[in-house]
Amino acid sequence: MAKVVFLDRDTMGPGVEITRPGFDHEWVEYNKTKPEDVSDRIADADIVITNKAPVRAEQIAAAKKLKMISIAATGFDVIDIPACRERGITVSNVRGYAEHTVPEHAFALILALRRSIAGYRQDVIDGEWQKSGQFCFFNHPISDLAGSRLGIIGEGITGQNMAKIATAFGMEPVFASHKGVDGFGSLYTPWDEVIATSDVITLHSPLKPATRNMISNPEFEAMKPNAILINTSRGGLVDEAALVDALDCGLIAGAGFDVLTKEPPEADNPLLTILDRPNFILTPHTAWASDQAMKEVWRQVIRAIDDFQAGSPSNVLT
């Protein structure tokens, strides 16, 4: 009988029904798993499910029965893929589940920042409107999306849907070629041009060595002063200290983030020092987490396990 170990059930919303594989199995479920506990918990597992609990080479080497890992996410940086490949361990992820939830969240951040929603809401809470003596007042800038340029970094399904929504708002969406890479063709706009000419820049890229800190001081210095930066993709794509400096110096107008380099953030994360600013919004990695999207994630997780057990692995990374 196969033993299936789910390392971090709490990463799925409480409203998600945790259905199980259709074949005979032993099920072991943990609400959360610290990195130092992974080895013990998967030591005799045949199949492991993880979202954010890391499974590295050391744990893989110790898990002698391990045959398959099903990742409850699209990103796979928590798994040592080369170590799995060397052992012949199948790794599957989920795909396409965030095609609506992430773009909608990204545009919620874009609209809130372009129209200074957070700043005006705080003004009402603080009584500033009530004291103004007129029907409205103008403490913060307000800009339409229509006629502005959306620079999209990442051409996958979420990036494509960002372009569709942008077009509906009357924006001009452009896809950036990869940083430092030429020859992407006419469907892509050169990286430097996207950085320098976009009114809104939104990130939809995986985190890997080539993309880590791809937005840092040189990019902020090249951006338009009215630009806003949105990251609903991966923490680590943006140099967080450089972002604070850019906001301090007025190099850009604002930023909306749903992901951080370290999650949850540690006390010394520089972005925690600017939470009270009206031009910065931080949400706790919830762009992916609509009810519909989480249910689709779990459906794919279990399907991948059932497919593997049936001898026809799906969504395979290795």
Number of H helices, E strands in the chain: 11, 11
Quick: pLDDT tens for 147-175.
Answer: 999 999 999 999 999 999 999 999 999 99
For residues 154, 155, 156, 161, the Cα torsion angle rounded to the nearest 10 degrees is 100
CATH superfamily of 101-282: NAD(P)-binding Rossmann-like Domain (3.40.50.720)
Residues of the chain with CATH 3.40.50.720: 2-97+291-309, 101-282
CATH architecture of the region 2-97+291-309: 3-Layer(aba) Sandwich (3.40)
Residues 288 and 231: their CA atoms lie apart, in Å, by 12
Quick: pLDDT tens for 194-251.
Answer: 999 999 999 999 888 999 999 999 999 999 999 999 999 999 999 999 999 999 999 9
Residues known to be catalytic: 234, 263, 285
Res. 181: pLDDT tops 90: no
| Integer CA distances (angstroms), 254 to 22, 50, 140, 199, in order | 48, 34, 12, 11
Q: pTM (2 decimals)?
A: 0.91
